[in-house]
Amino acid sequence: MEEEHYFYGKPIYRSREQEYIQELLSKYRKEPVTEELKQKIWEELQLAKHEGRITIPYKIDIRQDPSKNFPDYIEVVLDTRV
């Protein structure tokens, strides 16, 4: 059974929200990593947050490998303190 965590008095189910976010982002996997894509993802996550589907705090970063051995990617970091 999943453990509840509370944030501003509301229960947060981290694994459920993480699965939902991964599902949401799956449609962007083939797009090139740009600031515009980061903005699109941020807007979609903000809409989901507004609708109450996401309650866990998050931030979005673009990760780039300077040696170019690994592809660039956009990372959604969930607040683990919740």
Residue 54 in this model has a pLDDT that exceeds 80: yes
Residue 15 and residue 61: Cα distance in Å, rounded? 20
The pLDDT-based confidence of 6 (bands split at 50, 70, 90) is: low
Are the C-beta atoms of 49 and 60 separated by less than 8 Å?
A: no
Q: Tell me what the mean pLDDT of segment 2-21 comes to.
A: 74
Count of domains for the chain: 1
Tell me which residue range forms the domain holding 17: 5-78
Q: What is the pLDDT of residue 15?
A: 82
The pLDDT-based confidence of 60 (bands split at 50, 70, 90) is: very high
Q: What is the mean pLDDT of the chain?
A: 86
Q: Is the dihedral of CA 66, 69, 72, 74 positive or negative?
A: negative
Q: Is the dihedral of CA 75, 57, 37, 51 positive or negative?
A: positive
